[in-house]
Amino acid sequence: MNVSTILIILLIGAFATYFSGDKLASKVALLFSLAALGCSIVLLNNFSAGENISFINSWITQPNISFALNADGLGLAMVLLTTALTPIIIFSSFGNEYKNAKAFYGLILFMAFAMTGTFLAADGLLYYIFWELALIPIYFIALIWGNGDAEERRKAVIKFFIYTLAGSLFMLTAFIYLYQKAGSFLIEDLYKVELSACEQFWIFLAFFLAYAIKIPIIPFHTWQANVYQKAPTVGTMLLSGIMLKMGLYSVIRWQLPITPLAAKEYMYIFIGLGIAGVIYGSIVALRQKDLKKLLAYSSLAHVGLIAAGSYTLTLDGLRGAVLQMIAHGFVVVGLFFAAEVIFRRFETREIDGMGGIRTQSPKFTSMFLILVLASVALPSTFNFVGEFTVLYSLSQINIWFAILGGTTIILGAYYMLRMFQHVMLGETNAKTFADVSLNEGISFAVIIAVLLFFGFYPKPITDLITPSLETILQVINKN
């Protein structure tokens, strides 16, 4: 078995879901997403046993393009994140009804297929194809099944689509230029290309524009909050939990090893941009009255810190960034799902319209509190492991980077606990808040179990990703 099996399962699942009809679509989608997760676990065991689970085959001869999928520890970690969160996201949606459900769930699986392909692709053009394919389903999910005024939603989604597509075209231009130098799009050939400092600068910048928009890094973040707010919660989970990780992963996999001289030369600038996102996102989150927008800006702050860790070019920075990517994926999906559970009862996302949930739903209150504490990186949670490692790497570059980056913990604790107080405590809302249903409770329990288990014992993930990151650093440090 090789990694192409996961892609086949997800792609077949997308079509099977669509043709299963509206009544069965959600169950079929869940079945195939669980099959993809099971396949990922089997492949992880095979990888740990020393088997070669990568896949490469000649695809197009002119230009020279290969269907190449590389399954190292870093790629597998991101695939496991994708295939673990996809069934959780699908299962969490069972409390909602969607028109044309077969198309809705089919698009979710197709998006998971494209994102998985992005994490595995070892050919530049194949990677670009998967990167662009992931944009199509989320465009329709947000546009058709989104929230609020249709015209405002359309404007927000189109802005997101144009921004992302424009950034991707710069990346495509960089790949074409690199192909002319290497005669191949294979990643190992692109790593070997000798580029002048000037060439590296422009290619680094082209990659950065694509990744900064996707992550997002300020000042390329202007699409994020509105799209997170207007998209259905499932779409927001896919965007925040998995899709933005494509940009962060790509910084480590593609940008830094191909343009190491530029990465070293402009390190301080891009670390500074990441930390600026931490401070900006936290301050803006303090002012939000809409729960989803508050969580959107909170996510902006956290990914800014992850990006800063990536650009340190240290093993601790890269390792902490990957750990935090995975932790952030689970906690942000849990938080957006909590916002959706509240909306199902109160039919509002305005924080001022909530309150008193603790007295009506102690189980939900407890689970929500754990997610809030994980978000602010309380020790013993997975987020603490990632954030501490990233901050330690920043201190190795400059202690002020660590101090400024650490504001995410202080400000995050303030606005998240303040939000929790307004939403869960205080006077009881006039509407009744029923306690969590079975499927809601299972979704929360799985997410919390992951956050606590790896908070106490992150070694399995650390051991999985470290050899790949060391290899990438060797490529960077050769130049």
428 pLDDT higher than 70: no
Mean per-residue pLDDT over the chain, rounded: 92
Q: What's the confidence (pLDDT) of residue 187?
A: 95
Q: What's the confidence (pLDDT) of residue 309?
A: 94
Q: What's the confidence (pLDDT) of residue 121?
A: 96
Average pLDDT of the residues in 429-454? 89
Q: What is the dihedral of CA 172, 177, 179, 185, to 10 degrees?
A: -30
Backbone angles phi, psi at 280, to 5 degrees: -65, -50
Contact (Cβ atoms closer than 8 angstroms) between residue 223 and residue 300: no
Q: What's the confidence (pLDDT) of residue 88?
A: 97
Q: Which residues contact 466 (CB under 8 A, 6 or more apart)?
A: 73, 315, 319
Q: What's the confidence (pLDDT) of residue 432?
A: 77
Q: What's the confidence (pLDDT) of residue 236?
A: 94
146 pLDDT higher than 80: yes
Distances in Å between the alpha carbon of 202 and those of 177, 212, 478?
11, 15, 20
479 pLDDT higher than 70: no
Closest alpha carbon to 260 in 317, 212, 311: 311
Closest alpha carbon to 106 in 37, 34, 245, 10: 10
Residues 29 and 106: their CA atoms lie apart, in Å, by 7
**Domain assignments of the chain as residue spans, ordered by start:** 266-479
Contact (Cβ atoms closer than 8 angstroms) between residue 304 and residue 218: yes
Residues 37 and 21: their CA atoms lie apart, in Å, by 23
User: Could you read off the pLDDT of 190-237 as tens digits, one per residue?
Assistant: 999 999 999 999 999 999 999 999 999 988 888 888 899 889 999 999
Backbone angles phi, psi at 59, to 5 degrees: -120, -60
In which band, very low, low, confident or very high, does the pLDDT at 126 lie, cut at 50, 70 and 90? Answer: very high
pTM, two decimals, is 0.95
- Residue where the block lists tokens 């099971």: 38
User: Could you read off the pLDDT of 231-277 as tens digits, one per residue?
Assistant: 999 999 999 999 999 999 999 999 999 999 999 999 999 999 999 99
Residues 157 and 228: their CA atoms lie apart, in Å, by 10
Angle (CA) 85 126 19, round 5° = 55
Please name the residue ranges forming H helices in 63-219: 73-92, 101-120, 124-133, 135-145, 150-182, 187-192, 197-214
Closest alpha carbon to 6 in 90, 119, 107: 119
Q: At what angle do helices 101-120 and 124-133 cross, to 10 degrees?
A: 160
User: Could you read off the pLDDT of 341-384 as tens digits, one per residue?
Assistant: 999 888 888 888 888 888 888 899 999 999 999 999 999 999 99
Contact (Cβ atoms closer than 8 angstroms) between residue 451 and residue 327: yes
Residues 318 and 313: their CA atoms lie apart, in Å, by 7
In which band, very low, low, confident or very high, does the pLDDT at 429 lie, cut at 50, 70 and 90? Answer: low
410 pLDDT higher than 90: no
Q: What's the confidence (pLDDT) of residue 356?
A: 82
String of b and e for 417-456 (b: at least 16 CB within 10 Å)? eebbebbbeeeebeeebeebeeebeebbebbbebbeebbe
Asked which of 298-307, 418-427, 443-452 is least confident by mean pLDDT, the reply is 418-427
Residue 85: alpha-carbon gap to chain centroid:
10
Cis bond upstream, residue 216 (ω within 30): yes
415 pLDDT higher than 70: yes
SS3 call for 82: helix
Residue 417: alpha-carbon gap to chain centroid:
24
Closest alpha carbon to 153 in 166, 141, 137: 141
Average pLDDT of the residues in 24-31? 96
Closest alpha carbon to 294 in 420, 385, 153: 420
430 pLDDT higher than 70: no
66, containing H or E segment: strand 65-69
Q: Is 347 left (phi over 0), alpha (psi -120 to 50) or beta?
A: left
Closest alpha carbon to 294 in 391, 411, 212, 182: 411
Q: Which residue has the higher pLDDT, 430 or 145?
A: 145
Distances in Å between the alpha carbon of 261 and those of 179, 181, 274, 283, 458?
19, 17, 19, 34, 32
Q: What's the confidence (pLDDT) of residue 84?
A: 97
